[in-house]
Amino acid sequence: MIAIVDYDAGNVKSVEKAIEKIGAEHILTSDPEQIKNADAVILPGVGNFGDCMDKLISRGLDKAIKDFAASGRPFLGICVGLQLLFDESEESPGVPGLGILKGKIKRFPGGDDLKVPQIGWNDIFSCRGKLFEGIEDNTFFYFVHSYYLEASDRSIVSSNASYGVTFDSSVESGNVFATQFHPEKSSDAGLKVLTNFLKFAGEV
């Protein structure tokens, strides 16, 4: 059973619809016990880093997510769900992230020719790892974000993208996967990424 974490932070319904389209069994839940007992977990997220952390903590989901990630079972973070896995974000100074992975979330510098947030399709490159089996470099995915990841451990970075700066667009560390882009909004390529995750989880 796949648990999609529901914590009033955005894009859970679109993720749920994508999983339904693939045909995998899932639940949408904010119950820490259901998350701890799931076979795989997906953490979506849209919005402010600090607000999202507050919502996780207020529901007791922060510990459940940390325990699940440490269990060796497959975990996928999406968009802010990627950012929350790391130590801190410039969006919410002084607010600790989950600290499951090491790195910082930084704000795009912006400028006359660079609108922030980045909204729309962007290609990714240097793709590797389980999520990108059957996906070529320079495939386009859908992004909506003002902040980007700079991972401390470069070995966990599984793809990059460029938007004014080159940034880490996905990570893979053992059983923990995360994407800055929205696979659930990225047409066939996004469904392929989700299918690859669910195959790794033994759910399809």
Q: List the CATH number of the domain containing 139.
A: 3.40.50.880
Beta strand pairing call for 176-179 and 75-78: parallel
pLDDT for 170 equals 98
> Could you tell me the residue range of the domain that residue 118 belongs to?
2-200
Q: What is the 3-state secondary structure (H, E, C) of the chain?
A: CEEEECCCCCCHHHHHHHHHHHCCCEEEECCHHHHHCCCEEEECCCCCHHHHHHHHHHCCHHHHHHHHHHCCCCEEEECHHHHCCCCEECCCCCCCCCCCCCEEEEECCCECCECCCEEEEEEEECCCCHHHCCCCCCCEEEEEECEEEEECCHHHEEEEEEECEEEEEEEEECCEEEECCEHHHCHHHHHHHHHHHHHHCCCC
- The mean pLDDT of the chain is 96
Identify whether the C-beta of residue 56 lies closer than 8 Å to the C-beta of residue 22. Answer: no
148 burial level (CB within 10 Å; 0-12, 13-18, 19+): buried
Which of 28-32, 72-76, 78-82, 200-204 has the weakest average pLDDT? 200-204
Q: What is the largest CA-CA distance in the chain?
A: 49
Is the predicted pLDDT of residue 110 greater than 80, yes or no? no
Is the predicted pLDDT of residue 27 greater than 90, yes or no? yes
Percent of the chain at pLDDT exceeding 90: 92
Average pLDDT over every residue of 65-85: 98
Is the predicted pLDDT of residue 10 greater than 80, yes or no? no
182 flagged as catalytic: yes
pLDDT for 96 equals 98
127 flagged as catalytic: no
Average pLDDT over every residue of 7-14: 85
pLDDT for 9 equals 81
Percent of the chain at pLDDT exceeding 70: 100
The 3-state DSSP class for residue 126 equals coil
Number of domains in the chain: 1
pLDDT for 94 equals 97
Tell me the pLDDT tens digit for each residue of 93-106: 999 999 999 999 99
pLDDT band at 22; cut points 50, 70, 90: very high
pLDDT for 156 equals 98
Please identify which of the residues 26, 79, 88, 127 carries the catalytic annotation.
Answer: 79
Which of 55-59, 63-67, 107-111, 137-141 has the weakest average pLDDT? 107-111
Please identify which of the residues 16, 127, 182, 203 carries the catalytic annotation.
Answer: 182
Element (H, E) at 81: helix 80-83
Please identify which of the residues 88, 91, 184, 203 carries the catalytic annotation.
Answer: 184
User: To 10 degrees, what angle do helices 187-200 and 12-22 make?
Assistant: 70
Tell me the pLDDT tens digit for each residue of 116-141: 999 999 999 999 999 999 999 999 99
The 3-state DSSP class for residue 24 equals coil
Tell me the pLDDT tens digit for each residue of 171-182: 999 999 999 999
Look up the pTM and report it.
Answer: 0.97
